[in-house]
């Protein structure tokens, strides 16, 4: 975190932002939830003067590491939007994707985040994994619709070099019909598609500004 703060101070000197000029902030990479909230405090002390009063401040989180204490601490820092890397509510699929959380952990984390007052909650879903079907994805979307979320990001599984799946590219299927099915099914629960992978009753200002 010390290096990140040093980099932030460098960027502030370089770009010279004015007071209250930053409208969105995104803490990403999936693993922010492995860092204790108190370690973020100096970062927020540095950047807070440049944030607008109504700035959208998002953090990503993995359901297994987003414990109640972490969620509470991040909310106290002023984060008002959280994006959970759920990927699926199917236990077998989660294991196949190498995810370390269970469906119940994802549900519990989302419900707790809502209960303590996060303004906006999003979750990610993955599709076109080899064993995906309309039935499985329909169950995922139906479960998502029961939760206190206002946004879904639906991503097609991609195989990147130097990742565990690089040696087994066959775990990905290319089913264009399934992609359209996911899109239409999410829209059917009342979420507007405002970007190729993003759907929401709330449209993320950060996504619209940078994607």
Q: Are 113 and 120 in contact (CB under 8 A)?
A: no
pLDDT in tens, 136-176: 999 999 999 999 999 999 999 987 776 666 667 678 888 89
Model pLDDT, residue 171: 82
Distances (CA, A) of 94 to 62, 88, 143, 160: 12, 6, 15, 18
Split the chain (211 residues) into runs of 10 and give each run's mean pLDDT. Answer: 94 96 92 95 97 98 96 98 98 94 98 98 96 97 98 90 68 90 98 97 95 78
Q: What phi and psi values does residue 89 have, to the nearest 5 degrees? A: -105, 10
Model pLDDT, residue 180: 96
Q: Are 186 and 153 in contact (CB under 8 A)?
A: no
pTM for the whole structure: 0.93
Q: Are 108 and 102 in contact (CB under 8 A)?
A: no
**Residues, the chain, total?**
211
Model pLDDT, residue 49: 97
Model pLDDT, residue 166: 64
Q: Which of 56, 61, 74 is nearest to 207 (CA)?
A: 56
């Amino acid at each position: 975190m010390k290096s990140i703060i040093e980099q932030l101070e460098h960027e502030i000197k370089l770009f010279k932002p004015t007071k209250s000029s930053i409208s969105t902030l995104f803490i990403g990479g999936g693993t922010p939830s492995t860092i204790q909230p108190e370690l973020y405090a100096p970062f927020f002390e540095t950047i807070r003067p440049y944030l607008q009063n109504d700035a959208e401040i998002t953090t990503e989180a993995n359901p297994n590491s987003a414990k109640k204490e972490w969620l509470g601490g991040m909310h106290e820092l002023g984060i008002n939007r959280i994006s959970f890397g759920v990927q699926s509510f199917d236990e077998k699929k989660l294991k196949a994707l190498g995810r370390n959380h269970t469906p119940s952990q994802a549900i519990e984390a989302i419900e707790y985040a809502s209960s303590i007052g996060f303004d906006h909650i999003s979750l990610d879903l993955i599709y076109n994994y080899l064993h995906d079907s309309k039935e499985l994805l329909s169950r995922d979307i139906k479960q998502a619709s029961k939760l206190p979320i206002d946004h879904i990001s639906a991503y097609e599984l991609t195989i990147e070099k130097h990742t565990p799946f690089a040696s087994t590219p066959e775990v990905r299927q290319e089913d264009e019909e399934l992609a359209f099915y996911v899109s239409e099914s999410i829209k059917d629960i009342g979420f507007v598609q405002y970007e190729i992978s993003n759907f929401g009753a709330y449209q993320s200002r950060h996504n619209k500004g940078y994607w």
